[in-house]
Amino acid sequence: MKKKKKQGKKRKWLIPLAVVLLAAVVFSVLVGTKVIRINTLLAAGYPVQGIDVSHYQGEIDWAKMKQQGMDFAYIKATEGSAHEDKRFDKNWKEAKAAGMLCGAYHFFSFESEGAKQAEHFIKKVGDLKGSLIPVVDVEYYGKYAEIPPDVEKVRKELREMVGALEKKYGRKPMIYCTYSVYRKYLDGVFDEVPLWIRNVYYPPEDIGRKWTLWQYTDRAQLDGYQGEEKSIDCNVFQGEKGQLNNYVIQ
């Protein structure tokens, strides 16, 4: 009888242990296969939080953004050598009025010369004193997702744009990119340029270099905007709040 009781006790422990182990395995698989995104929990540990927006977010209540803990915002200004974001002027003015630390970003075109794109951005944005350094957003779009453009051509035009922006603002701009773009065009080539990396599945510790901003989600739901895009991109800065000032143009 005593032996049977011991076996019964063992079974009682084995069942919950098996359940816990199974749950851990399932969770690991879901994270590994990118079904579950754990970034929101992990990103909460960073003291400096921010958003990036374009006309897709529509009307934005910038005071509400600050109330929800957003310390900075990057606002889309231009794209290619001719396109302007239709809400840039309003977003820029109202975000500044609300006391938000702002930066402007440009969506890089694979079909335009880098110098012309820089000229277009500078003409639209103008003086950036007191604002964050500009950003060049480099990512695949349209047909280029399937047929990436020539490596040397992209690097040449990107160097021209980076150089023109540095000459104008006295600071190197930051480059935003996805992992695939980083590996193909930037790795080991633009190491002197601050990096804003996108990884919506896990922290970018495997990127192989220091990053400045990390876009950890494109599915955040915040209060205070009314556009056709229901989600908003959220980011963290690698550093303390005071260190973010190192990226402000003086």
Please list the pLDDT of the chain residue by residue as tens digits (250 residues): 445 555 555 556 665 665 556 544 444 444 454 445 688 889 999 999 999 999 999 999 999 999 999 999 999 999 999 999 999 999 999 999 999 999 999 999 999 999 999 999 999 999 999 999 999 999 999 999 999 999 999 999 999 999 999 999 999 999 999 999 999 999 999 999 999 999 999 999 999 999 999 999 999 999 999 999 999 999 999 999 999 999 999 9
This prediction's pTM:
0.87
Residue tagged 């990053």 (tokens): 211
Mapped onto helix, strand or coil, the DSSP state of residue 213 is strand
Residue 23 is predicted with a pLDDT of 42
Residue 130 burial by Cβ neighbours in a 10 Å radius (0-12, 13-18, 19+): exposed
Catalytic residue ranges: 139
In angstroms, the CA 153 to CA 16 distance is: 58
Residue-by-residue DSSP string for 71-87: -EEEEEEEETTTEE-TT
| Cα–Cα separations (whole angstroms), residue 148 to 63, 137, 168 | 40, 16, 30
| Cα–Cα separations (whole angstroms), residue 4 to 9, 184, 195 | 9, 64, 63
Tell me how many degrees the CA angle 47-175-233 measures, rounded to the nearest 5. Answer: 50
Tokens of 28: 């690991």
CATH superfamily, region 38-247: Glycosidases (3.20.20.80)
Q: Find the distance separating the first CA and the last CA of the chain, reported in whole Å.
A: 82
In angstroms, the CA 6 to CA 29 distance is: 35
* Biggest CA pair distance of the chain: 89
